A = this chain, B = another copy of it.
Amino acid sequence: MIVVMHPGATQEQIHKVEQRLIELGFKTHPIYGEEKTVIGAIGDKRVLSSEAIINLPGVEKIVPILRPYKLVGRELKPENTVVRVGDVEIGSGKLVVIAGPCAVESEKQLLEAASAVKKAGADILRGGAFKPRTSPYAFQGLEEEGLKLLNRAKQETGLPVVTEAVDPRDVPLVARYADIIQVGARNMQNFRLLREVGLTGKPILLKRGMAATIEEWLMAAEYIVDAGNPHVILCERGIRTYENATRNTLDISAVPLVKELSHLPVIVDPSHASGNWKLVAPLARAAVAVGADGIMVEVHPEPLTALCDGPQSLNPNNFSELMQSLVPIARAVGKEL
């Protein structure tokens, strides 16, 4: 890291900072500029927050040089991670499509959705049994009953299922039914939940927090991998900005950027990103074109009656058309669909 001293820092202050750095195990390299002195500090101290130094007299700021994550970074593991779920590979050359309703509402609704997305070519079924809702008065999910219905749909279609866990106490239960456990945007920094899903060893779909930086997102993934579970799939789902013409702002640039920084697969959720079913298809096409490893799309047999996120759900016909439109784009960027 680089310690930047105030222009008026005294020689003694500079010396004390060096001393402290040496105590902490760094080698120091001061550079005396015309206006300011900076001290280069060598040593792999990711654990050390800059807090031990920043308050020393004369210090203006600390500039970290190493990235704060290790296990999820490309620097130590240059080759792509491929997450396997049954026969499906996420992060290899094949584009993966996850689809299904926001929430599991009933057997009929889920089975219809599952068979429709299967028919249109989806690889994995999604459906929420535990729903984090902004309002305590909104539908909170069918819980274990929902998990059982997901299992039923899996039996019928052969599709592996992804579903969300929202409470560390539910993780073992969710892990019994889910092929992939989702950590939702609101829980991206629920560090206890991250540890708990990390301990399951199951594939984890980690959504980006609503206002998380890319670095914080990768640090959340680092928690899971650090708990012993390398099977992490990142999911960009839009970030919160001043623009409210869409529910969130899809940060499409995050996809190629994260693929440069990390070896983990990255998928895109155009449904939550936009909150508007009319935008889902174009955004899904953009996601494929930008190089995502997959997409996750909300599909409901009858969006008009959905208990959750109807406005952003495709009906089976629209989903099927979307799937067909993705084929030439996937091919154009060297992926199969």
Chain A residues at the B interface, C-beta cutoff of 8 Å: 2, 4, 7, 29, 31-36, 38, 40, 42-44, 46-47, 49, 51-52, 54-56, 63, 65-66, 68, 75, 132-138, 166-169, 186-187, 189-192, 210-211, 213-216, 219, 222-223, 226, 239-246, 249-257, 260, 273-274, 276-279, 282-283, 285-291, 303-311, 325, 328-329, 331-333
Given A249-B253, A290-B285, A332-B325, answer yes or no on A65-B38 (Cβ-Cβ < 8 Å). Answer: yes
Q: How many copies does the complex hold?
A: 4
Is A51 a contact partner of B243 (Cβ separation < 8 A)?
A: no
Are A167 and B166 interface neighbours, CB within 8 A?
A: no
Q: How far is the CB of A326 from chain B (nearest CB, A)?
A: 9
A14 to B239 CA separation, bound complex (whole angstroms): 34
Contacting pair B274 A282 (CB below 8 A)? no
Partner of A250, one of B187, B252, B260, B283: B252
| B132–A54 touching, CB < 8 Å | no
Residue of B nearest to A184 (CB): B189
Q: Is B279 within 8 A of A257, CB to CB? A: yes
Our pick among B32, B43, B242, B288 for the contact of A213 (Cβ within 8 Å) is: B242
Q: Given the known inter-chain contacts A279-B257, A283-B290, please indicate yes or no for A192 contacting B167, CB distance below 8 A.
A: yes
Jot down 27 A-B pairs with beta carbons below 8 A, ordered by A.
A2-B38, A29-B29, A29-B31, A31-B40, A33-B40, A33-B42, A35-B44, A38-B40, A51-B306, A51-B308, A51-B311, A54-B310, A55-B310, A135-B219, A169-B192, A187-B190, A211-B211, A239-B242, A241-B251, A252-B286, A253-B274, A253-B279, A253-B283, A256-B283, A289-B290, A289-B329, A325-B333
